[in-house]
Amino acid sequence: MTLLMSDNVDRCFENCPPRQFMPALCRIFIDETAPISVLEASARAMTYYMEVSNECSRRITAVDGTVKAICDRISNMTTDPGASRELVEQCVKVLEHICQRETGLVYEAGGFSKILSLVRDYGNVIHKDTLRSAMTVITRLCSKIEPDDAVQADYSVTLGTLLNHNDLRVSESALRSIAAVVDRFLRKYMDPCEFASRCGLVDLLLGLIVEPSGESTSGEEQSFVLTGKPISFISIVLSLLSNLCRGSATATDLVVR
């Protein structure tokens, strides 16, 4: 608590040096009997250290089992109704910092599926900034997904649903996440069609660009207007559509039909 209440960073790092305190905080997370209040304070302390110096993230990943323990605490929210929402949200913040340097370790610890499940099942419960942080983590982790895993799981369904989220930042993160997965397919010279078809991705993407005008008359084709999304957002959509067409003849047919 002294660490969290400190208003002098230099003195804090002098009195509580990361090389000594970070391993101790990690051991608290590995301890399955640690009280939620202690875990939450530990997660906040980890976040504090990494906000001052992201080099501190390496001291977390250096302690075996810590990243997995943090990921497991996030999954507790989906299995334990008594789990602390604040603890889960703080764990997301910790992983967001760790992912800036050690994305692969978080993915290997099962972080992707657990955070995606959190967003899918509790996205309307957690705070907005936590949801955005979770989506940032998901976007980074999507760069590690193997195409075969992406096809077998329902990742595209969850991410596809998030494309129409009312928070544009969440929607854009979902868009970038899908783009990262599609890029993985292209790098492996694999057709992303099966991944994309599970959520009707092409139709979802086109729907982000244009929408029915509502002015069609009998016997005439439906007319469309732009959705009003920011140009930067539309640019990502068009880039993703281009990559889908480049990697899949089926996707191309859906776009030009």
pLDDT of res. 106: 97
Render pLDDT for 175-188 as a digit per residue (tens, 0 to 9): 999 999 999 999 99
By mean pLDDT, which of 18-27, 78-87, 106-115, 141-150 is the weakest? 78-87
Determine the structural domain holding residue 62 and report its residue range: 2-144
Count of structural domains, the chain = 1
Output phi, psi for 72, to 5 deg.
-65, -35
pLDDT of res. 150: 84
The length of the chain is: 257
Q: Do the domain assignments include residue 85?
A: yes
Interval 200-220 mean pLDDT:
79
pLDDT of res. 211: 82
Render pLDDT for 26-75 as a digit per residue (tens, 0 to 9): 999 999 899 998 999 999 999 988 988 888 899 999 999 999 999 999 98
Q: Do the domain assignments include residue 251?
A: no
Q: Do the domain assignments include residue 246?
A: no
Residue 80 pLDDT more than 90?
Answer: no
10 Cβ contact list (under 8 Å, min separation 6): none
**44: number of Cβ within 10 Å:** 19
Three-class secondary structure of residue 226 per DSSP? strand
Three-class secondary structure of residue 63 per DSSP? coil
Q: Do the domain assignments include residue 183?
A: no
Render pLDDT for 91-144 as a digit per residue (tens, 0 to 9): 999 999 999 999 999 999 999 999 999 999 999 989 999 999 999 999 999 999
Q: Do the domain assignments include residue 244?
A: no
Residue 173 pLDDT more than 90?
Answer: yes
Q: Do the domain assignments include residue 67?
A: yes
Q: Do the domain assignments include residue 60?
A: yes
Q: Do the domain assignments include residue 204?
A: no
CATH number at residue 111: 1.25.10.10
CB 160 within 8 A of CB 178: yes
By CB atoms closer than 10 A (0-12, 13-18, 19+), residue 13 is middle
Quick one: which of 84, 80, 68, 83 has its CA closest to 29?
68
